[in-house]
Amino acid sequence: MDTVSNAVHYVFLGTAACFVLGLHLMNHPRTARRGNAISAGAMAVAIAATVWLVIHEDTITTTGWLVLVSGGLIGAALGLYAAREVKMTAMPQLVSLFNAVGGGAAALIAVNDLLQADHPAALGARVSLPGALDIVIGAVTFSGSLIAAGKLQGVVSGAPVVFPGARLLNVLLPASFVAGTVWLVLSPDSLGALYGLVAVALLFGVTMVLPIGGADMPVVIALLNAFTGSAVAMAGFVLNETALIIAGMLVSSSGGILTKLMADAMNRSIANIVVGGFGTGDSAPAAVAGGAPAQVRPVSADDVAIQLAYASKVIFVPGYGLAAAQAQHELGDLAKLLSDNGVDVSYAVHPVAGRMPGHMNVLLAEANVPYTQLKEMDDVNPEFPQADVALVIGANDVTNPIARKPGNAISGMPILDVDKAKSVVVIKRSMGHGYAGIDNELYTDPKTGMFFTDAKKGLSELKSAVGEFVG
Amino acid sequence: MNELDLLTAITVFVLSVLVGVEVISKVPATLHTPLMSGSNSVHGIVVIGAMLIAAESHTWLGYVLAFVAMVFGAMNVVGGYVVTDRMLEMFRARPSEKKDV
């Protein structure tokens, strides 16, 4: 190694340290933004150092420069545009898209490396094995993330898509990865093995994500994030760049931890979600004891407003219905009006509320909700018995007390103890079921009032009604 | 590339996983979306790999692959950091909670 190449590797080492520091600073809302800036600055320095290395090594052709600069500028412009324009409700799609391009780039690096080598056979398993893994993981992530983004955006049906033979295919395709990987390792210059592996991996990404329902997306996105990280780390092995290995595995562990947390919050195993189940219709809706439809108590905006205005403690429970109606601003306004009048306001956020881990918190932050009012499940559950009103907005399964009883689709799932509040109001458009497809006992509880309306409309009605009482 | 390099690379791989688990398990659920978006931008380091293959490419197929990898990688890096910053900028403790004071 010469001096320049050595210097560049020291820069990469510093960059990796800054990534760790940047992620570490993400542990508090106050420091998180600085952490992101440190990470971004380090990335910029690493890219500049790579340009220096490329100039110094001088193997690049004029066309190579053109490719590097134009590709970089076009990609940067697309990324900047997408990042500036995206709505906070569409964040999961964007994260999924970035997973796709990250995984795709990693796979392309391995393909290119295997194609460029003059005598790939001479590379040995040191390059061909991580190369094959990079291609498999990268290509699965690419097509899988695109399907996930399509589902979230509504381009691809959000319902689980099941076609005949899908399960069989999901067994056959991974088997062919193993065969393809072994083939490619044994004969790294076989183009058939290379292209075959790319094709089956792309196909598997599609068949893996298509049968997964919309409710499971927080888990899927976290899982694909972990995959992208591993693909990037494998690209690091291929290119012998430790910076890629470190950064890739940091991301992979982050994705892995979040996948586990999300799966736990739904009381399901990761395998169970990937193979399909909840929301796919194959878990039969639990039969509710007794044939007679249970009685619910409908309430009006004025009823609810009186309760809220004279409460001393109110807990809001936002769910997917709030996000779908994009009513986070109306909720924020209502909460501010109440807290300005001395009501103790907090938000109970279930880990899987929204469409990716922590998504609900982002939506509420967008509506200017102070993060000090956002409470996680374990912290807020003991507070429900002191709450005068728990206002549930479009959250269903995560508030269903039936989860505490055995023998139904959501048994054992950690829930918010909304039913322990002194009174409960549920804003919901109809008595429709949640993803789990079972009745919610909370709605028939005598202390629960049902306010049947659209979340956005209902919350602005509440705000003006409350305004009458406190104004 | 010799055996020592491979051993070093595997050591780095294993240690990175452990550091990642240690650092990330301390992040509160409130920040999980920015964390995922932030770690998304970290895997944008793949752009460095794309730059290195662009520097080694000599065939038209190589150029096309390197170009697509560059576009993907650059999009990942720039978009990831900008959107994470946009999100984090919204997480503020607001002065409205002055009632205890």
Q: What is the mean pLDDT of residues A40-44?
A: 96
> What pLDDT, on a 0 to 100 scale, did the predictor assign at position B63?
94
Q: Which of A27, A76, A362 sits opposite B28 (nearest CB)?
A: A27
Structure tokens at A226: 């972990």
> What pLDDT, on a 0 to 100 scale, did the predictor assign at position A293?
56
> What pLDDT, on a 0 to 100 scale, did the predictor assign at position A192?
85
Catalytic residue among A113, A134, A216, A397: A397
Instruction: Kindly give the parts of chain B with pLDDT less than 70.
Output: 1-4, 93-101
> What pLDDT, on a 0 to 100 scale, did the predictor assign at position A294?
64
B-chain residues near A398 (CB < 8 A)? none
Annotate chain A with three-state secondary structure.
CCHHHHHHHHHHHHHHHHHHHHHHHHHCHHHHHHHHHHHHHHHHHHHHHHHHHHHHHCCCCHHHHHHHHHHHHHHHHHHHHHHHHCCHHHHHHHHHHHHHHHHHHHHHHHHHHHHHCCCHHHHCHHHHHHHHHHHHHHHHHHHHHHHHHHHHHCCCCCCCCCCCCHHHHHHHHHHHHHHHHHHHHHCCCCHHHHHHHHHHHHHHHHHHHCCCCHHHHHHHHHHHHHHHHHHHHHHHHHHCCHHHHHHHHHHHHHHHHHHHHHHHHCCCCHHHHHHCCCCCCCCCCCCCCCCCCCCCCECCHHHHHHHHHCCCEEEEEECHHHHHHCCHHHHHHHHHHHHHCCCEEEEEECCCCCCCCCHHHHHHHHCCCCHHHEEEHHHHHHHHHHCCEEEEECCCHHHCHHHHCCCCCCCCCCCCCHHHCCEEEEEECCCCCCCCCCCCHHHHCCCEEEEECCHHHHHHHHHHHHHHHHC
pLDDT at A286 over 70: no
Amino acid at A306: I
Say which residue, A159 or A259, is predicted with more confidence.
A259
Beta bridge partners of A428: A452
Nearest to A98 by CA among A253, A285, A196, A224: A224
Per-residue pLDDT band for A290 (boundaries 50, 70, 90) equals very low
pLDDT at A169 over 90: no
Q: Which of B19, B31, B51 sits opposite A68 (nearest CB)?
A: B51
B29 touches chain A (CB under 8 A): yes
Gap between the Cα atoms of B30 and A415, Å rounded: 17
> What pLDDT, on a 0 to 100 scale, did the predictor assign at position A173?
84
pTM > 0.90: yes or no = no
Gap between the Cα atoms of B32 and A176, Å rounded: 35
pLDDT at A287 over 50: no
pLDDT at A292 over 90: no
Per-residue pLDDT band for A427 (boundaries 50, 70, 90) equals very high
Gap between the Cα atoms of A141 and A401, Å rounded: 37
Amino acid at A12: F
> What pLDDT, on a 0 to 100 scale, did the predictor assign at position A291?
45
Number of other CB atoms surrounding residue A185 within 10 Å: 18
Q: Check: CB of residue A305 under 8 Å from CB of residue A336.
A: no
> What pLDDT, on a 0 to 100 scale, did the predictor assign at position A282?
38
Gap between the Cα atoms of A141 and A98, Å rounded: 10
A114 touches chain B (CB under 8 A): no
Interface of B with A in 34-93 (CB under 8 A): 34-59, 61-63, 65-93
Nearest to A429 by CA among A391, A394, A389, A390: A394
Contact B34 A358 (CB under 8 A): yes
Question: How far A422 CA lies from chain B's nearest CA (Å)?
Answer: 24
> What pLDDT, on a 0 to 100 scale, did the predictor assign at position B97?
46
pLDDT at A461 over 50: yes
> What pLDDT, on a 0 to 100 scale, did the predictor assign at position A113?
87
pLDDT at A249 over 80: yes
Place of tokens 């964390």: B35
- Concerning whether A397 is annotated as a catalytic residue, the answer is yes
B-chain residues near A377 (CB < 8 A)? 29
Gap between the Cα atoms of B72 and A71, Å rounded: 8
How long, in residues, is chain A? Answer: 471
- In sequence order, the 6+-apart residues with CB closer than 8 A to the CB of A283 are A277, A409, A436, A437
What is chain A's mean pLDDT, rounded?
87
Contact A47 B77 (CB under 8 A): yes
Q: Check: CB of residue A71 under 8 Å from CB of residue B71.
A: yes
pLDDT at A133 over 50: yes
Lowest-confidence pick of A47-61, A95-109, A251-265, A275-289: A275-289
Report how far apart, in Å, the C-alpha atoms of A355 and of each of A7, A153, A213, A375, A448 are: 43, 11, 11, 18, 27
Q: Which of B34, B54, B58 sits opposite A32 (nearest CB)?
A: B34
Gap between the Cα atoms of A142 and A138, Å rounded: 6
> What pLDDT, on a 0 to 100 scale, did the predictor assign at position B3?
57
- In sequence order, the 6+-apart residues with CB closer than 8 A to the CB of B1 are A126, A127, A240
> What pLDDT, on a 0 to 100 scale, did the predictor assign at position B99?
42
pLDDT at A136 over 70: yes
> What pLDDT, on a 0 to 100 scale, did the predictor assign at position A37?
96
Structure tokens at A283: 């878990």
Nearest to A438 by CA among A407, A414, A392, A417: A407
Contact A39 B72 (CB under 8 A): no
B23 touches chain A (CB under 8 A): yes
pLDDT digits (tens, 9 = 90+) for A449-460: 999 999 999 999
pLDDT digits (tens, 9 = 90+) for A370-379: 888 999 999 9
pLDDT at A281 over 80: no
Structure tokens at A330: 């109306």
Contact B72 A101 (CB under 8 A): yes
pLDDT at A471 over 80: no
Highest-pLDDT range among A291-295, A396-400, A432-436, B14-18: B14-18
Contact B87 A95 (CB under 8 A): no
Nearest to A142 by CA among B42, B69, B64: B69
Q: Which helix (H) or strand (E) holds B6?
A: helix B3-24
